[in-house]
A = this chain, B = another copy of it.
Amino acid sequence: MKSPSQPRDRGIPEATVARLPLYLRALHGMAERGVATVSSEDLAVAAGVNSAKLRKDLSHLGSYGTRGVGYDVEYLVYQISRELGLTQDWAVAIVGVGNLGRALANYGGFVSRGFRVAALVDADPEVVGDTIAGLNVEHIDELEAVIKRRGVSIVVLATPAAAAQKVCDRVVAVGVTSILNFAPVVLSVPDSVDVRKVDLSIELQILAFHEQRKAGGPLMAVDSQ
């Protein structure tokens, strides 16, 4: 009828991809606590989503559940890890070793799952040569060489805003196609390159918007003229 374990759509919705790491984290926690099997309902609660959504998400990977029972935790961890590409090892370079870059270099959460900080790069002669998180900080002139030598495939940009686009262009030129950008600028890149953006200030502004509504909402409707 149908092949048992290979419905591989190869077209997983973006929204689903964004939630898989969430499920994975919840599953890791369960595995550590010795849970062998979990229902969509329980896993959904642990991940903070609706259970129907969870089932639909997982169904995009294949039919890995057992009706009447649930999902095997170990097996699901493996399948999601594989789908996300975490069964291989990713070399990450962090460019910009200011406060944020330093924090990222020391952040345990990176290393924990398939990611390895393989290089630190900065332009400031003051920090070049320093050892941070066990890594030597290299000079920005060496950027291309370092990326090639270490097999870096993901670059984290933690530079000042003014420098980000230039660094971005250079890493794209040597073939990097995945960038995590912390600099508050809109990077322009070819379509083939993925950029994900994390902007702390934007998150705060969104919170402020809602906070304002809660606080003075109905009162403040004082439109001047």
Footprint of B on A, CB under 8 Å?
A: 3, 5-6, 8, 10, 17-18, 20-22, 24-26, 46-48, 83-86, 88, 90, 92, 98-100, 102-104, 106-107, 109-110, 112-115, 153-154, 177-180, 184, 186, 188, 192, 194, 196, 198-212, 214-215, 217, 221, 223-225
Residues of B within 8 A of A202 (CB): 18, 21-22
Bound Cα distance from A112 to B200, whole angstroms: 12
Bound Cα distance from A110 to B200, whole angstroms: 8
- Known A-B contacts A10-B221, A223-B5; the reply to A153 vs B211 at CB < 8 A is yes
**What are 29 A-B interface contacts by the 8 Å CB criterion?**
A3-B223, A6-B224, A10-B223, A18-B202, A21-B201, A22-B186, A25-B184, A84-B205, A84-B208, A84-B209, A84-B212, A90-B208, A92-B204, A98-B103, A99-B103, A100-B103, A110-B204, A115-B201, A115-B204, A154-B208, A177-B211, A178-B210, A178-B211, A179-B207, A180-B207, A194-B210, A194-B211, A196-B203, A198-B198
Q: Are A207 and B184 in contact (CB under 8 A)?
A: no
- Copy number in the complex reads 2
Q: Are B223 and A207 in contact (CB under 8 A)?
A: no
Bound Cα distance from A71 to B194, whole angstroms: 31
